[in-house]
Amino acid sequence: MTRPATHILRLLKWGRVLARHGALRIIEEGRNTPLPVRRLCRIARFGTRQPRVPDYARAFQEIGPAAIKLGQTLATRPDIVGEEATRNLLSLQDSLPPLPFELVKRQIEDSFGAPLEVLFASFNPQPIGSASIAQVYRATTNEGATVAVKVLRPGVRERFSRDIETYEWAAAHLEALGGEASRLRPRAVIANLKRWTLRELDLRREAASASELAEAMKGYEGYRVPHIDWDRTNGHVMTVEWIDGIKISNMAALRAAGIDMPRLARRLVLAFLTQAINAGYFHADMHQGNLFVQPDPHDPAGTVVAIDFGIMGRIDRQARQWLAEILYGLTTGNYRRVAEIHFEAQYVPSYHSLEEFATALRAVGEPMRGKPVSELSVGQMLDGLFAITRDFDMQTQPHLLLLQKTMVMVEGLATALDPEINMWDVAAPFVRNWIRDELGPEAFIADRLRTDLDTLLRLPALVRRIEEKYPAKGGAPEQAPLPRVDLIWARKRRSNHWSGYAAAAIGGGVAAWFLALSGLLG
């Protein structure tokens, strides 16, 4: 187990990196920052020169892979880091200089136990992508298929485990200080960060995620996932179909290919809603580098192809129902229903007033209603919701962090494709239809029938468990009720001091008489 002194030294080292980029100031000057954290910040920045304009993204990138993932998580939390830091962190690029090819080649060969020349007909040693966790190469299989090969950076698992252990240690101490630090639940946030990134560090799980998403989106036209080459995939290496397409960030190339940009923007938004609300399983890293468009002569919007499935989000059915009703309530101005859902989900403690919370929600939603489409923003709405969480003692909901982050990403991409898109207008019909299908009378009856049938099917097993707990009686006849006999020592407790002595004498006499009688009979 790592010693506390080691954790403190790591935090001070990272603090100096943050200070050199001016990123420590926001923590030290925060009005809710606990005093011990302020002191640690002063020690960390001692002797450094902080620039006026902080560069949070560069600081996290310099610290390392775990910090990059933490920075991407904090980019969804303007309530913690502020709007300025959020905008800067959204520009955080998960890219690092590539490692020498010899190290990568050794990683591939060791993981498969075979030479690279046996696994692939050709392999380009120049990476086409180099991120903090893995590098990607172009290769050709022995069957002649062009593929993309993703390889984990050697040693990245060990480095991440070391860093995340310090994050956990720091989060536990921060949360123990109570107050605002406790409400923000830093330990739960770090636990979710650890869970997300551990998935990325096992490329078999990423391949499985791609396969599951492809299955969930099978009936959705204009969106697809590359095929997995399972024979050339393991925990350290993932091989997928090569995608020839236009990066969604290349607007000029999309226009030159005749892509209908507004239609493509709507498709992107609806694809996300289909994943998040219909399937409850969504691609949570939908930035510009992970989306391509393949022109289709039969479809003006082309086909969206997603890559990189290391970060995936999952929402259970109850949370999806709440999410759909919240989105629909905000789009239609039904703030009371949105407030009721927050209380039903226990996002807001019950000692607060539902009516007051509904009024606070109205203060967030109404300024956006009736404005030009270019001024409507999911990001602004989330910022407004975060702003009222403190007033109503709302704890951080870690299971929704990925969803919030992805919503902001999707909005940014859709707005870049079509500046006139109205996210609410696109989302409202989809959400309304989903609510009708999932929460309407027919759906209620179907759910009730399914639940009751499941209960009936479990009855035989329940009866068997009851029989095991209370087995049948044996062959001996049941004992008849016996007469009640008051015990001497029981009466002794209820009697006074002298009657106790009398009872003892009588008891002794009876015992002696019984023994004498036994001797005569013997």
Rounded to whole angstroms, how far apart are CA atoms 273 and 407?
Answer: 9
> What letter does residue 230 receive in the DSSP assignment?
G
What's the alpha-carbon Rg for the chain, to the nearest Å? Answer: 33
Bridge partners (DSSP) listed for residue 238: 150
110 is catalytic: no
Residue 148 bridge partners (DSSP)? 138, 240
What's the number of CA atoms in the CB half-sphere (13 Å) around residue 430? 20
- Distance from C-alpha of 490 to C-alpha of 89, rounded to nearest angstrom: 77
- Beta carbons of 79 and 189 less than 8 angstroms apart: no
Residue pair 123/114 in contact (Cβ under 8 Å)? The answer is: no
Tell me phi and psi for residue 23, to 5 degrees.
-90, -5
Query: Of the listed 285, 308, 383, 452, which one is catalytic?
Result: 285
Could you tell me the two tokens for 294? Answer: 């393949």
Instruction: Give the span between the Cα atoms of 358 and 330, in whole angstroms.
Output: 11
Residue 294 pairs in a beta bridge with 303
List of residues 6+ apart from 243 with CB closer than 8 A: 148, 226, 292, 294, 305, 307
Give the 3-state secondary structure of residue 136: strand
Q: Which residues are catalytic?
A: 285
